[in-house]
Amino acid sequence: MTSLKTVLLGSAASLLAVGVAQAADLPVKKAAAAVQYVEVCPVYGSGFYRLPGTDICVRHFGSVKFNFAFQNERRMGNPDFEQGVDTNVVNEGASNTIGWQWTIRPGWDFRSPTEYGTLRTVVQMRVDQRNGVHENDDPVLTGTMRVSNIIHRGYIEWAGFLIGRAGSQFVYWDQDDVVTAIGGSPKTTAMQFTYVFTAPGGLKATIGVEDSTAWASGGGAFVNVDGIKDLSNGPNRVYDVIGSISTEQSWGNAKLSGAAHFTQTNADLKGPGGPEGTPDTNEINTGWAVLAGVTFNLPMLGPKDQLLLEATYSDGAVAFSGINGGADNNTTSFERNGQFMSGLQRNDPDTYAFFSGSTWDFETTKVWTVAGQLRHYWSPLWRSNVMASYRHISVPDRAFAATGIGDAKAWDVAANLIWGQSRKTAEIGIEAVYKSVKQDLSQSVIDAAAFNHLDTDPTGWAVSMFIQRAW
């Protein structure tokens, strides 16, 4: 019996050894290669991912927007501050009242940790093409077109400092839900050197300098009314000084900002003393502006409903009040790059230059504005905005006596309906806007406007439609 067990066990061991040896000769299936997955960076927020092999996280953002518009008749006349009214106007029916514009704004936000805090670099391109009512040449003739290819933003933010081209620190209301410009703050960017201080509790303060050309008035910083033809706006000598303080709270947010605006005038006249003994001049004049804005959350109306209110006052810095200059938004324009109403147009400068006796005198234009916006969500995908603004422009008495163009009051209202969520669906919207201007004019200017068939107190309306996708 023992011999039989020994034989059986030996046979089983032999068979097992042969099986193992044969299995060793079979081909072995190799393990799958490792997959390189994208590593997210939640510390910087949604959408950031790590560049392979680095500690840099990046987020790609941007938008594509197509806008179509129609407005009532457009006949233009630009006032010449030395001659009253320019007679080179577009005849009735000659201008294009239908227009379109497309805008592409791709951008990238790079961030990485350092021992001095997060190092951030932002670059955003802007490519526009427009025709018709969106054209910013004046007068606008049928078929004209403008194309722009620029760096909309490009800055480095590190250790509290922001250096480069970024949104102005003065601006509060960026009109993100507005198709047409109705006044208030412009969507403008400026070269700047700014220090940003953040504190617990949602408090932020900024102080810095910005390129003054972004805030130069529409007709140049200075207008001379005494017949000296060689007076001109000089080159930048001093950047504007911009400061702000803002807060984000559960009830909404608020901001106070101020600006000191520097412009230079040159009167480089030929010969000793120039015409009639007028001396040359090269002077820097200072204007200033202040802004106060507040936004209230309105959960009693809807989860994302808001009411925004803003007021500005400027003295010798009219663009900070939302007209001309960096705003690209003339008093009577429907959009920052054009869309003018029929009638006598204004082009208010920061400062007027006067020569009296043997000295130069300078007097400033003063502007104050108020603006408001109510946003209401009818459903998660449907929202409306109702907007209004009022502007008052005060011109020096001596300028009115010399040019015949005095104070002005302008108001506008707009309403829109928008469907969609830009990052989840396309957004489609339609907006209507109405504008009106009342202005003090001398009889000679009124007569010149009548001769050119221009309305001295113009009104106008426009309807714009758009489709946009952001990411």
Residue 470 to residue 104: CA distance in whole angstroms = 10
Residue 421 to residue 186: CA distance in whole angstroms = 24
| Residue 177 Cα distances to 84, 311, 415, 431, angstroms | 38, 19, 10, 10
| pLDDT, tens digit (0-9, with 9 covering 90-100), for 307-360 | 999 999 999 888 888 775 333 333 333 333 333 456 666 667 788 877 766 677
**Contact indicator for 254, 246 with CB cutoff of 8 Å:** yes
DSSP for 42-59, please give it. Answer: GGG-TT-EEPTTSS-EEE
pLDDT at 401: 84
pLDDT at 214: 72
Q: Which of these, 59, 180, 71, 76, lies nearest to 112 by C-alpha position?
A: 59
Superfamily of domain 46-470: Porin (2.40.160.10)
pLDDT at 402: 79
For strands 427-441 and 459-470, give the pairing.
antiparallel
pLDDT at 227: 47
Within a 10 A sphere around the Cβ of 93, how many other Cβ atoms? 10
pLDDT at 85: 39
Residue 87 to residue 450: CA distance in whole angstroms = 11
For strands 343-344 and 76-77, give the pairing.
parallel
Per-residue pLDDT 10s for the chain (471 aa) are: 555 555 444 555 554 454 544 545 555 556 555 556 789 999 999 999 999 989 999 999 999 988 887 877 655 444 443 433 333 344 444 455 677 778 888 999 999 999 999 999 999 988 877 666 544 443 333 344 455 567 888 999 999 999 999 988 998 987 778 776 665 445 667 899 999 999 999 999 999 999 887 776 644 444 555 544 445 555 556 789 999 999 999 999 999 999 999 877 666 554 444 455 556 667 778 899 999 999 999 999 998 999 999 999 999 888 888 775 333 333 333 333 333 456 666 667 788 877 766 677 788 889 999 999 999 999 999 999 999 989 899 989 988 887 788 898 988 899 999 999 877 889 999 999 888 888 898 898 888 777 767 778 877 788 889 999 999
| pLDDT, tens digit (0-9, with 9 covering 90-100), for 353-371 | 777 666 777 888 899 999 9
Residue 281 to residue 355: CA distance in whole angstroms = 10
The DSSP call for residue 30 is P
| Residue 350 Cα distances to 70, 200, 325, angstroms | 32, 39, 10
Hey, which residues does 267 pair with through a beta bridge? 231, 281
Domain ranges of the chain: 46-470
DSSP for 60-110, please give it. Answer: EEEEEEEEEEEES---EEPPPTTTSS-S--PPTT-S--EEEEEEEEEEEEE
pLDDT at 88: 37
The answer to whether the pTM exceeds 0.95 is no
Q: Which of these, 338, 327, 332, lies nearest to 69 by C-alpha position?
A: 338
Helix (H/G/I), strand (E/B), else coil: 391: strand
Residue 405 to residue 331: CA distance in whole angstroms = 14
